[in-house]
A and B are shown apart, each in its own frame.
Chain A
Amino acid sequence: DVKVTQSSRYLVKRTGEKVFLECVQDMDHENMFWYRQDPGLGLRLIYFSYDVKMKEKGDIPEGYSVSREKKERFSLILESASTNQTSMYLCASSTSGGSYEQYFGPGTRLTVT
């Protein structure tokens, strides 16, 4: 079974702090994704990566950056956390070919106070 793990289930940070969210997948997938999910807005893509050290902006990249130094690990960085970044953050991975379905981690509920 594909397994995607995220470093924390719940996180509470203060405004202005630098926040790191880590994601690891064990299926040798080329693609990895970071989404945020908010009530009424659905899943919105922040960034994705199709290879090590490669990244592309998604629909809402402002206030975020990412890092992919190893194929299995994709990090999301909030440079200076703000209250409007309080959300559920979901990581996903997929292959580049074949059926292409994305497999999701359990999510990190981030609260910025």
Chain B
Amino acid sequence: EDQVTQSPEALRLQEGESSSLNCSYTVSGLRGLFWYRQDPGKGPEFLFTLYSAGEEKEKERLKATLTKKESFLHITAPKPEDSATYLCAVRGEYGNKLVFGAGTILRVKS
């Protein structure tokens, strides 16, 4: 059974304090690892898709990386507007479903 575990559950940062969020996964035949951002009371917003170990994607202050067992979402010099819940999901070899992690709640204080 495909599984996704995200850590930490919550993270508080000062503005400008860089850090990383972790997404560990077990999946039979990875066909995509997805990162989403979710603001309170809203639907998740797609950020990145990664397909193979060693792949990296960047968007503004966010950079996602992928190994064979985990993915990291690196946040460089975060701002208060980066505060949100970040979700990780995987698509395995079989079927059309994504399996989501529970998310990391990020708070950036000015």
Contacts and interface: CB of A to CB of B under 8 A. Distances in A.
Interface of A: 4, 31, 40-43, 45, 48, 50, 58, 90, 92, 94, 96, 99-107, 109
Q: What's the interface size class on B, roughly? A: 20 to 34
B41 A42 contact: no
Interface stretch (B11-19, B21-29, B43-51): B43-51
Given A31-B96, A40-B102, A50-B96, A102 B43 contact: no
A43 B100 contact: yes
Q: Interface majority SS on B: helix, strand, loop or mixed?
A: loop
A50 to B, nearest CB: 6
A107 B96 contact: no
B46 A102 contact: yes
B31 interface: yes
